[in-house]
């Protein structure tokens, strides 16, 4: 399986952000099996525009409908993060994986809202209540997590025990002192401790750090972007997963104390 990781900067215009995503699906679709986009794909809130103003239905809204059409046109999977409309003034922060036939392959609502470091996502968002589901792309078992979830290893261990081999992680990782080091360390740790690949697509520019990357099951960085818009590619090799798990059987050796009866 080949993955494309789209690192993008976004503006405050939802239509412009959508156009950038559609263009990248068209351009990169011929070079990969799945293209991963960052968190906050629709844009960020402003003084005049709330997340609820941008939110849409994740099945039939204009944004996801356009992404479905682009995936069908380019015969590629895509993972995009949307502000999902709810019956309240708050939104779900939702990752949707669209299959090459335009159907929904997986949905995940962010479990851990970033109420830290002077940010309070819970003012505008509702936390999800379900662990990520496992789904296959080209024979690789995948699961989802979003940004701040990276700081909670329980999400990734649960996915690995459920069969995951590749973590797909959209992010809008804020820039700041030590923040890039945090991102790199957490990606390496989540990959290594679960002997899985970990792929992160991050927003760049302005308040965000960039440095999208993919890490191997041995915790090694296989590809990394800088701080500008970019698309990086990596091969996700099933034989590499099996090889690492053969010599480093962390999941197999996990104490039964931590396994459900």
Catalytic (active-site) positions? 39, 110, 147
d(CA 43, CA 183): 21
SS3 90: coil
Q: How many of the other CB atoms lie within 10 Å of CB of 79?
A: 29
Return all residues near 191 (Cβ < 8 A) that are at least 6 apart.
167, 197, 198, 215, 216, 217, 218, 219
- The residue among 232, 174, 235 whose CA lies nearest residue 205 is 174
CA distances, 52 to each of 21, 41, 170, 180 (Å): 21, 14, 20, 29
d(CA 185, CA 36): 20
Q: Phi then psi for 90, rounded to 5 degrees?
A: -105, 165
Beta strand 208-209 with 204-205 is: antiparallel
- What are the beta bridge partners of residue 143? 167
Q: Phi then psi for 240, rounded to 5 degrees?
A: -70, -40
Q: Are 248 and 191 in contact (CB under 8 A)?
A: no
């Amino acid at each position: 399986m080949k993955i494309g990781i789209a690192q993008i900067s976004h503006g405050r215009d939802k239509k412009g952000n959508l156009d950038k995503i559609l263009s990248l699906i068209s351009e990169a679709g011929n070079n990969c099996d799945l293209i991963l986009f960052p968190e906050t794909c629709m844009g960020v809130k402003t003084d005049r525009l709330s997340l609820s103003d941008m939110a849409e239905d994740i099945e039939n809204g204009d944004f996801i409908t356009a992404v479905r059409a682009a995936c069908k046109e380019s015969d590629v999977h895509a993972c995009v993060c949307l502000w999902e409309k709810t019956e309240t003034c708050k939104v779900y922060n939702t990752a949707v994986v669209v299959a090459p036939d335009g159907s929904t392959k997986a949905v995940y609502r962010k479990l851990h809202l970033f109420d830290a470091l002077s940010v309070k996502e819970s003012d505008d968002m509702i936390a999800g209540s379900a662990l990520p589901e496992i789904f296959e792309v080209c024979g690789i078992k995948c699961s989802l997590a979003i940004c701040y979830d990276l700081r909670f290893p329980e999400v990734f261990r649960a996915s690995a025990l459920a069969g995951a081999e590749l973590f797909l992680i959209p992010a809008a990782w804020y820039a700041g002192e030590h923040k890039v080091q945090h991102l790199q360390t957490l990606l390496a740790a989540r990959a290594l401790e679960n002997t899985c690949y970990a792929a992160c697509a991050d927003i760049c520019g302005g308040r965000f750090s960039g440095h999208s990357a993919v890490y191997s099951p041995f915790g090694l960085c296989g590809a990394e972007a800088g701080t500008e818009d970019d698309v990086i590619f990596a091969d996700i090799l099933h034989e590499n997963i099996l090889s690492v798990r053969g010599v480093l059987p962390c999941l197999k050796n996990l104490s039964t104390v931590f396994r459900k009866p």
